[in-house]
Amino acid sequence: MTRKVALVTGGSRGIGAAVARRLAGDGFDVALTYRSAGDRAAAIVKEVEAAGGRALGLRVEAADAGALVAAVERTVRELGRLDVVVGNAGIAPYGALEEVTLEEVDRLLAVHPRASFVLAQAAARHMRDGGRIVLIGSSLAERVPYPGWTAYAMSKSALTGLVKGLARDLGPRGITANVVHPGSTDTEMNPADGPDADEERRHTALGRYCSPDDIAATVAHLAGDGGRAITGAAISVDAGVTA
């Protein structure tokens, strides 16, 4: 049987690396992008290959639309097809509202909704019927329990509208588009032993952080057979922080 192909942005570490590993375990060949951590991306590429898949590591700045489009084209050229894209690359600057600069706002909008739009549009040009688009948002798109996250929350909530539009545009081809909203997840971006971690845990229903594998499991569900009737949805995987 021909293997399916997934492209995961920000796959060098954290949630993206967990998604790449999980999809490889589910039988996908995987292209993954990174911004600067080439050595770490190469290590994930090796893990995917060890799981029996083909893999590709691509250096891509998410704010660079041309580079994103080129990554989609290279994936199709080198791995032969495209079935799933996961838009995960992200940043999490925060701070007092009065001090947020417009440059920071522009950067957040470029790396989150603009890059997600570019990725989805480029993928739709190459994706087979029945393909899957999964974006990684944030629980802060749905509920903001602490100050300092206004611009980040704005940049992530745009993904909810984006997947609804994509669902309607691509539904006739059987292509689904969904956003997964993680809550506090134990990565370098937000370590479970970091200075704010206890406060973050207190706001959840389950009293705990998510693991990157928790997020990857839902992405894998959306990418697999069980996801074929889910589209235009925003799915919380957040230990109940938005409950």
β-bridge mates for residue 31, sequence order: 7, 56
Three state DSSP letters for 181-240:
EECCECCCCCCCCCCCHHHHHHCCCCCCCECHHHHHHHHHHHHCHHHCCCCCCEEEECCC
Least distance between ligand NAP and beta carbon 165 (Å): 20
Residues 192-231 that bind ligand NAP (CB under 6 A): none
Least distance between ligand NAP and beta carbon 114 (Å): 11
Q: Of the candidates 123, 133, 136, 158, which one interacts with ligand NAP according to CB under 6 A?
A: 136
Three state DSSP letters for 66-120:
HHHHHHHHHHHHHHCCCCEEEECCCCCCCCCHHHCCHHHHHHHHHHHHHHHHHHH
When asked if residue 157 is in the footprint of ligand NAP (CB under 6 A), the reply is no
Q: Give the per-residue contact string, 172-191, with ligand NAP (x = CB under 6 A; - = no).
A: ----------x-xx-xxxx-
DSSP, collapsed to helix, strand or coil, labels residue 35 as: coil
Q: Of the candidates 12, 116, 157, 204, which one interacts with ligand NAP according to CB under 6 A?
A: 12
Task: Decide: 94 and 196 in contact? Cβ < 8 Å.
Answer: no
Q: Of the candidates 47, 61, 73, 104, which one interacts with ligand NAP according to CB under 6 A?
A: 61
What whole-number distance in Å separates Cα of residue 239 and Cα of residue 224?
23
Catalytic residues: 152
Task: Decide: 57 and 42 in contact? Cβ < 8 Å.
Answer: yes
Q: Of the candidates 14, 53, 113, 227, which one interacts with ligand NAP according to CB under 6 A?
A: 14
When asked if residue 90 is in the footprint of ligand NAP (CB under 6 A), the reply is yes
Least distance between ligand NAP and beta carbon 15 (Å): 4
Q: Of the candidates 25, 26, 37, 208, which one interacts with ligand NAP according to CB under 6 A?
A: 37
Task: Decide: 20 and 32 in contact? Cβ < 8 Å.
Answer: yes
Q: Which CB atom, from 80 or from 91, has the smaller least distance to ligand NAP?
A: 91
Q: What is the DSSP letter of 142?
A: T
When asked if residue 34 is in the footprint of ligand NAP (CB under 6 A), the reply is yes
- Judged by the rule CB under 6 A, the positions of this chain that interact with ligand NAP are 10, 12-16, 34-37, 40, 60-63, 88-92, 111, 136, 138, 182, 184-185, 187-190
